[in-house]
């Protein structure tokens, strides 16, 4: 049986194949969905990536994070818990000599709670479906996302974002709903029940 492979669609690493390891819940973001996302980002960022800090929280194959790195993002931090996926991410980083990429092996919630670096300009969330990950993550995001930072989410259903987040774009490909949101820091209050 032929191994499944996805490819980076734009930037310096364009057409680079990304091997897909066999891991439960792993769904690489399809090429056309990544192309749509980065068209959206191009619109909101004017094509400027060099000063951007990006967190790919459920990295999986790294398709989203390496796509951002390929387009010149200043810093891309990937988080993944599956050992085989982590090994594949590290191998691809080494092959690409992607100095702007850091790979962290660990649990997404633990990493979110321990992050102490500058807030991120974009957080990308493509967690395993139907495991309640987003409910556990919403309240942690304001601490690690800069004011007016962006949030990209893939989910099994269309999202109704909680207070403090503004839906900018959304679309659907097959069974996957994908969304781009802005963190509206001016709405952030510690007493907001929607994000507590």
Mean pLDDT over the full length of the chain: 87
Cα–Cα distances (Å) from 105 to 90, 168, 173, in that order, read 10, 31, 29
In this prediction, residues 76-87 reach a mean pLDDT of 94
Q: Is the pLDDT of residue 2 over 70?
A: no
- Whether the Cβ atoms of residue 59 and residue 34 lie closer than 8 Å to each other: no
Q: Which one has a higher pLDDT value, 135 or 3?
A: 135
The pLDDT tens digits for 22-80 are 766 667 787 889 999 999 999 999 999 999 999 999 999 999 999 999 999 999 999 99
In this prediction, residues 3-7 reach a mean pLDDT of 75
- Bridge partner residues of 5 (DSSP): 19
> Measured between alpha carbons, how far is 161 from 181 in angstroms, rounded to an integer?
8
Q: Which of 83, 78, 62 is nearest to 13 (CA)?
A: 62
The pLDDT tens digits for 150-181 are 999 998 889 888 888 999 999 998 888 999 99
Fold classified for 5-195: Rossmann fold (3.40.50)
Question: Domain map of the chain by residue range?
Answer: 5-195
pLDDT of residue 184: 84
């Amino acid at each position: 049986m032929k191994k499944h492979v996805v490819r980076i669609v734009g930037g310096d690493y364009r057409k680079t194949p990304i091997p897909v390891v066999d891991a439960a819940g792993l769904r690489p973001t399809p090429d056309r969905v990544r192309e749509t996302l980065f068209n959206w980002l191009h619109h909101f960022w004017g094509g400027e990536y060099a000063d951007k800090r990006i967190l790919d929280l459920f990295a999986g194959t790294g398709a989203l994070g390496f796509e951002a790195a390929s387009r010149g993002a200043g810093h891309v931090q990937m988080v993944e818990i599956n050992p085989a996926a982590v090994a594949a991410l590290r191998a691809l980083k080494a092959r690409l000599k992607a100095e702007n990429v850091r790979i962290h092996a660990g649990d997404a919630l633990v990493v979110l709670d321990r992050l102490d670096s500058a807030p991120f300009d974009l957080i990308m969330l493509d967690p395993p479906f139907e495991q309640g990950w987003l409910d556990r993550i919403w309240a942690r995001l304001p601490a690690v996302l800069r004011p007016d930072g962006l949030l990209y989410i893939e989910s099994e259903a269309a999202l109704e974002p909680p207070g403090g987040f503004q839906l900018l774009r959304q679309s659907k490909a097959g069974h996957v709903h994908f969304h781009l949101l802005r963190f509206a820091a001016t709405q952030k209050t510690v007493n907001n029940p929607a994000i507590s």
